Amino acid sequence: MLSHKARYALRALVELTREDGGQMTAADLATRADAPRKFLEAILLELSRRGIVRSRRGKFGGYSLGRAPEAISFAEIIRVIDGPLALAPCVSRTAFRKCDDCPTLEGCSLREALLRARDATAGVLEGYSLADAAKAEAAEIPAAV
């Protein structure tokens, strides 16, 4: 399940994408992403350490995307915030380890289904970028008359 932390991260990054290369303060991002400011600042710090966002201090400071929005997938963001996409460690590509309660990988009756779920989830989330989300959101917002 997607955590609140990951939801806030995704919402804030979509808002940064909508700024089209501009920057926003943490307060503005928190308002637009409907996230608690202090919590969002901790999330942005984590995203900054990974190069997903850039931060600039000072009076004219704020946050901006660290790379083009087309190059930042939902999967990358979720992995940074929540960890692996897989439902079990034995099917993870980024944090593989044998499950404690399985004697062997080959004998696990759950593994095939979990592999398929991981592959389907990763396929969708790897193929969906911040740019895609911003476009989809913009298409849903009616134009002002």
- Based on the fold, state whether residues 24 and 94 are members of the same structural domain: no
- Based on the fold, state whether residues 105 and 145 are members of the same structural domain: no
DSSP 110-132: SHHHHHHHHHHHHHHHHT-BHHH
- Based on the fold, state whether residues 16 and 34 are members of the same structural domain: yes
- Based on the fold, state whether residues 107 and 36 are members of the same structural domain: no
Which residues neighbour 133 within 8 Å (Cβ) at sequence distance 6 or greater? 10, 14, 17, 74
The one-digit pLDDT tens for each residue of the chain (145 residues) are 899 999 999 999 999 999 887 899 999 999 999 999 999 999 999 999 999 999 988 777 899 999 999 999 999 999 999 999 999 888 888 888 888 888 787 878 888 899 999 999 999 999 999 999 999 866 665 544 4
Closest C-alpha to 44, from 59, 28, 68: 28
3-class secondary-structure state, position 105: coil
- Based on the fold, state whether residues 55 and 91 are members of the same structural domain: no
Instruction: Answer yes or no: are the C-beta atoms of 22 and 86 closer than 8 Å.
Output: no
Q: Domain span at residue 104?
A: 78-128
- Based on the fold, state whether residues 36 and 3 are members of the same structural domain: yes
- Based on the fold, state whether residues 5 and 32 are members of the same structural domain: yes
- Based on the fold, state whether residues 144 and 116 are members of the same structural domain: no
